[in-house]
Amino acid sequence: MIDWRIYYGDGSTFSSEDGAAEDAPPGGVICVAWYDEDHRRRLAHGSDYYIFDAGRWSGVDASGFWQHLGEPGAKIVKLGRMIGDLKFRDVMSKAMNDLPIEEAARR
User: Which pTM does this prediction carry?
Assistant: 0.92
pLDDT of residue 106: 52
Residue 55 has pLDDT above 90, yes or no: no
Q: Can you spell out the DSSP letters for the chain? A: --SEEEEETTS-EEETTT--GGGS-SS-EEEEEEE-TTSBEEEEES-SEEEEETTEEEEE-HHHHHHHHHSSS--EEEEB----HHHHHHHHHHHHHHS-SBGGGG-
Domain ranges of the chain: 4-106
The per-residue pLDDT for range 27-42, each reduced to its tens digit, is 999 999 999 888 899 9
Categorize the per-residue pLDDT at 104 as very low, low, confident or very high, splitting at 50, 70 and 90. low
